[in-house]
Chain A
């Protein structure tokens, strides 16, 4: 399936002019590690190199979409870099290239980029993790007015797992409040997030939200049936049970885990029934 490798390399060249230049300058070096024949490498540089650059706004459009999904971490990162446009460097970063080469998620890759880049502000890492979880549940099927994903066929046994519309994350205390404060501030700036982040001079101190990296709290994130995302504090017991369920567990294993976390056997059964009824656990 080398045509898929070629296609993904074209995408990387379209988004990253520096990478495209490197391929034209020395395709053996720039494409090292890719399963491409010499003829396929040659084919990538046969077009006029300027053909890869005919859409000068490609990166800006994609970045705009990412800023919409990462308003809080991007706002803080724009403070750290003094220019939100510097986040455009994501499209030349390994996280972006790996995402394209491995059929990954752009939103998840951007979160990884925000977490790996040394902005010098620990809050960016926490907010990126939270916004990544939000982006993930937002992508779960369940959109009103369109045809829905059918129930998945039973996988056999009595396996249950955490619904993709739900996520649990453990983050430093204050992350949720900080997210709510910054995200609502960015939303107040209108639909053009990029322009708002460029011109906004608000200081972080205005939000006055305590943030403590020495204590942690669990957050339960839900893509509601109405299409909005809800963030709520979760008890450590519930959070650990849902995290245990993430990869898929038998009902008996989940009941046993609930008991280990302090529930009585009858109570564990009721908890699992409730989680199933609420769609938090799914078969």
Chain B
């Protein structure tokens, strides 16, 4: 079945929050369950970031135990390296997915670790933006989808060094086409990529197949400088930078199959996150996605 047909079976999750192992233990960190109780429209689902070596923490388990909706965000696979999708890892993913019962799998489609999946090897780099790498990444997405039975949506990763002759959106357009899948567009990451590669903020978006955007991420960042070189650190602070909002607003209006938006603010206090949620909800409504923000 082609993705344009499979897409009809995907649930509309609305606005959600993210977590990863230990994030909920950060002092004063947002409590997804409490937010779900107090402001359900801003925490309709939980995106669980999983490194299989660490597993699920008590906060994620508590959410899952309530039977609330979730997505599985992988943090430990290089999809363009066939040997990285080994049976041991796939079995672990299937095990966690059976617990979480996610609507889909998703995650940054970049280099999560150099060498084998091993302690001390972790990092996150964007993919090499070439045609061959797009094909390799698409193959990995198909392999993971086949092995788990879940849709797998690649996310454009952050980074300071982008290498390759393709624009990041052209690259992911090819990935989605070849894997016949949807996309998780991270607006903050896209803003970083545009800046680092010398492009205008919205370059490439009009030519991108926005109907493939199923999920979007919004997150805060901080402009830093090193030896006179300015860059954005993707620190998931609540202070969302103006370029991120602009990309979000532009893409939301074009992503007619959008099902979910995550405000990545997992280590911040709930009251500091609310303005961001409110702005996301308002933009979704203006962009024609009222169904994602029920009152």
Contacts and interface: CB of A to CB of B under 8 A. Distances in A.
Interface of A: 1-4, 6-8, 10-11, 13-14, 39, 43-44, 46-48, 50-56, 62, 65-66, 69, 99-100, 103-107, 138-139, 141, 143, 145-150
What 7 A-B pairs are tightest by C-beta distance, nearest first? Answer: A147-B95, A50-B229, A3-B133, A146-B55, A149-B88, A3-B128, A147-B92
Contacts of A100: 114-115
Nearest to B232: A54
Given A53-B227, A54-B224, 4 more contacts: A7-B128, A43-B164, A138-B119, A148-B91
Contact of B125 (A1, A10, A104): A10
A150 B115 contact: no
A147 B115 contact: no
Interface of B: 52-55, 80-81, 83, 87-88, 91-92, 94-96, 111, 114-116, 118-121, 123, 125, 127-128, 130, 132-133, 136, 160-165, 196, 224, 226-229, 231
A47 B120 contact: no
Main SS of the interface on chain A?
A: helix
Main SS of the interface on chain B?
A: loop
Contact of B226 (A44, A50, A146): A50
A147 B226 contact: no
A228 to B, nearest CB: 16
Given A6-B128, A54-B160, A106 B53 contact: no
Q: Which of B118, B123, B128 has the most A CB atoms < 10 Å from its CB?
A: B128
25 contacts: A2-B130, A3-B127, A3-B164, A7-B111, A7-B125, A11-B123, A11-B125, A14-B161, A43-B163, A43-B165, A50-B229, A51-B161, A54-B226, A54-B229, A54-B231, A66-B120, A69-B120, A105-B115, A106-B115, A106-B120, A138-B119, A139-B119, A145-B55, A146-B52, A150-B88
Nearest to A105: B118
A130 B246 CA distance: 55
Contacts of B95: 147
Contacts of A103: 83, 114-116
Contacts of A50: 226-229
Contacts of B125: 7, 10-11, 14
B89 to A, nearest CB: 9
A168 B202 CA distance: 58
A106 B127 contact: no
A45 B136 CA distance: 23
